């Protein structure tokens, strides 16, 4: 990856080597960068999700680089369209997310930045499992779940060490209950944020705006270590 070709760009296509599996991803890096947020998409979605792309654009306005990555290879995606089983394989998705995290940590334009996760639907469970499994408790600075299924993370919830924000639509009663149950099992700073009147996909007017604002504030609150300075990616 050539840093001069990606820094300041709206988005660039990159190929992530996640433990030997090549995954397509869209990377956006603002000039002054607080950290990098990796997006783990939900069941049946992809890096082209308009909802997640909107949130990613807004997070770049907050000063965060964003990586929207497909956690399944193109071949796996083709199979999953028919079987619909890989999108619910949380351990596999978490493994791919961990490999993506390791890849990010090796990139010249990104390796100085702290890493956060943004998960939607089953991607939220994968993000929490991947966070719980990191050897270094400080590897992931924060997690945000949008309409997520954190309950699918199972026993990993008790081992998550990153501050976690669970965003749920007020009209999404079933998922709201599942988030409340998952929250009760976690032992880190965790907050449940409800977007009034919003459904599972946050399609209502202004709902995604609130999601992006909540996420941006959560990341900004937790990215900076006490006594640290903001990392700035130099202009080319």
- Grade residue 82 by pLDDT with cuts at 50, 70 and 90: low
pTM score: 0.89
- Of 21, 38, 74, 31, residue with least CA distance to 162: 38
Who contacts 92 (Cβ-Cβ below 8 Å, separation ≥6)?
71, 86
The answer to whether residue 218 scores a pLDDT higher than 50 is yes
The answer to whether residue 79 scores a pLDDT higher than 60 is yes
Q: Mind listing the pLDDT tens digit for each residue in 119-142?
A: 999 999 999 999 999 988 899 999
d(C-alpha 94, C-alpha 83), whole Å: 19
Q: Which domains does the chain have, with CATH numbers?
A: 3-221 (3.40.50.1820)
* Mean predicted confidence (pLDDT) in 79-104: 82
d(C-alpha 206, C-alpha 214), whole Å: 13
The answer to whether residue 227 scores a pLDDT higher than 90 is no
Who contacts 160 (Cβ-Cβ below 8 Å, separation ≥6)?
128, 131, 132, 143, 153, 186, 187, 188
The answer to whether residue 234 scores a pLDDT higher than 50 is no
d(C-alpha 169, C-alpha 19), whole Å: 35
């Amino acid at each position: 990856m050539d840093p001069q070709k990606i820094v300041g760009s709206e988005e660039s296509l990159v190929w992530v080597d996640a433990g030997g599996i090549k995954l397509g991803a869209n990377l956006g890096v603002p000039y002054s960068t607080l950290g990098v947020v990796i997006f783990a998409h939900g069941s049946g979605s992809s890096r082209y999700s308009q909802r997640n792309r909107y949130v990613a654009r807004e997070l770049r306005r907050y000063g965060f680089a964003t990586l929207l990555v497909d956690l399944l290879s193109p071949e796996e995606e083709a199979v999953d369209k028919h079987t619909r089983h890989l999108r619910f394989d949380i351990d596999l998705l978490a493994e791919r997310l961990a490999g993506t995290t390791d890849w990010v940590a090796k990139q010249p334009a990104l390796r100085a930045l702290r890493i956060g996760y943004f998960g939607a639907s089953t991607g939220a469970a994968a993000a929490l499992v991947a966070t719980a499994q990191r050897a270094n408790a400080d590897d992931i600075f924060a997690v945000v779940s949008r309409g997520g299924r954190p309950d699918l993370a199972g026993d990993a919830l008790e081992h998550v060490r990153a501050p976690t924000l669970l965003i749920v639509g007020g009209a999404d009663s079933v998922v709201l209950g599942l988030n409340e149950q998952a929250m009760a099992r976690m032992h880190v700073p965790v907050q449940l944020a409800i977007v009034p009147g919003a459904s599972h996909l946050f399609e209502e007017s202004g709902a995604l705006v609130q999601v992006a604002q909540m996420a941006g504030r959560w990341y900004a609150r937790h990215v900076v270590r006490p006594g640290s300075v903001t990392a700035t990616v130099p202009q080319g």
